[in-house]
């Protein structure tokens, strides 16, 4: 695909082996990098993400899947930004792609953005899909799908479905996973900016993991 070939040439042109080594070490050697710091990568990507330069929506799924198969992590970041660029044009079937993005090459650096900006946007367009998929993800035993279930409402503010939010937290509370307990606290803290009374009441009535508890109340008295 021309888009992938073109972005690959750009990434290679700006590659920095020293920065790549630092990035790979920071990410626990899970992924190789070309060595583009975020501002450089974003500048390189910017022309490709302009509305007039976006590929047809019909190519979206295949493009993102191909980017997800590339070894260097910058390709997944570009695929994620491409998904965000199409957020007003999601189709109901796109949830299958988003699940693939969550469970493939999974780590917080992509999953958190997929949860809050991609899946969050999708469920605003298709609210009838929320409960079936959230129930599926909770029961999946996949930590990253479960983390997504916690974080998808991260930016919803007053649109937050508190019943579903509470249900997800209660279902996953007591986990042995750091990334689950951290996400619960983070999500509560973020919602506390919009509805501190609800969060304070919820925390008071719920026996949370210590990490979740401290994260939730970090900015609330």
Contacts of 157 (CB under 8 A, 6+ apart): 191, 193, 194
pLDDT at 101 over 90: yes
Q: How far apart are CA 218 and CA 221, in angstroms?
A: 8
Q: Which residues of 48-68 are buried (b: 16+ CB within 10 A; e: fewer)?
A: beeeeebbeeeebbebbeebb
- HEC readout, 26-93: HCCCCCCCCCCCHHHHHHHHHHHHCHHHCCCHHHHHHHHHHHHHCCCHHHHHHHHHHHHHCHHHCCHH
pLDDT at 221 over 80: no
Mean model confidence pLDDT for the chain: 97
pLDDT digits (tens, 9 = 90+) for 27-85: 999 999 999 999 999 999 999 999 999 999 999 999 999 999 999 999 999 999 999 99
pLDDT digits (tens, 9 = 90+) for 195-204: 999 999 999 9
Q: How far apart are CA 170 and CA 181, in angstroms?
A: 11
Angle in degrees, CA 138, 140, 102, rounded to 5: 90
Contacts of 39 (CB under 8 A, 6+ apart): none
Q: What is the mean pLDDT of residues 86-110?
A: 98
Dihedral angle, C-alpha 68, 70, 72, 73, nearest 10 °: 0
* For the chain, percent of residues with pLDDT exceeding 70: 99
pLDDT of res. 16: 98
Q: What is the mean pLDDT of residues 155-180?
A: 97
* Residue with the two structure tokens 């695909």: 1
pLDDT at 1 over 70: no
Q: What is the mean pLDDT of residues 106-117?
A: 98
pLDDT at 94 over 90: yes
């Amino acid at each position: 695909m021309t888009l992938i070939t073109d972005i690959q040439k750009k990434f290679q042109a700006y590659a920095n082996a020293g920065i790549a080594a630092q990035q790979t070490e920071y990410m626990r050697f899970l992924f190789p990098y070309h060595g583009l710091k975020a501002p450089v990568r974003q500048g390189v990507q910017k022309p490709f993400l302009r509305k007039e330069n976006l590929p047809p929506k019909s190519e979206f799924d295949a493009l993102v899947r191909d980017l997800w198969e590339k070894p260097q992590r910058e390709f997944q970041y570009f695929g994620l930004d491409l998904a965000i660029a199409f957020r007003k044009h999601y189709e109901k079937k796109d949830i299958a792609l988003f699940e693939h993005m969550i469970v493939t090459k999974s780590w917080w650096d992509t999953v958190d953005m997929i949860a809050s900006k991609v899946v969050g946007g999708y469920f605003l367009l298709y609210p009838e899909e929320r409960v079936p998929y959230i129930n599926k993800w909770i029961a999946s035993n996949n930590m990253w799908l479960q983390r997504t279930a916690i974080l998808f409402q991260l930016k919803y503010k007053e649109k937050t479905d508190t019943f579903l939010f509470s249900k997800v937290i209660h279902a996953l509370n007591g986990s042995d996973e750091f990334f689950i307990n951290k996400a619960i606290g983070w999500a509560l803290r973020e919602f506390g900016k919009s509805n501190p009374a609800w969060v304070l009441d919820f925390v008071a009535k719920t026996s949370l993991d210590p990490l979740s508890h401290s994260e939730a109340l970090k900015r609330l008295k």
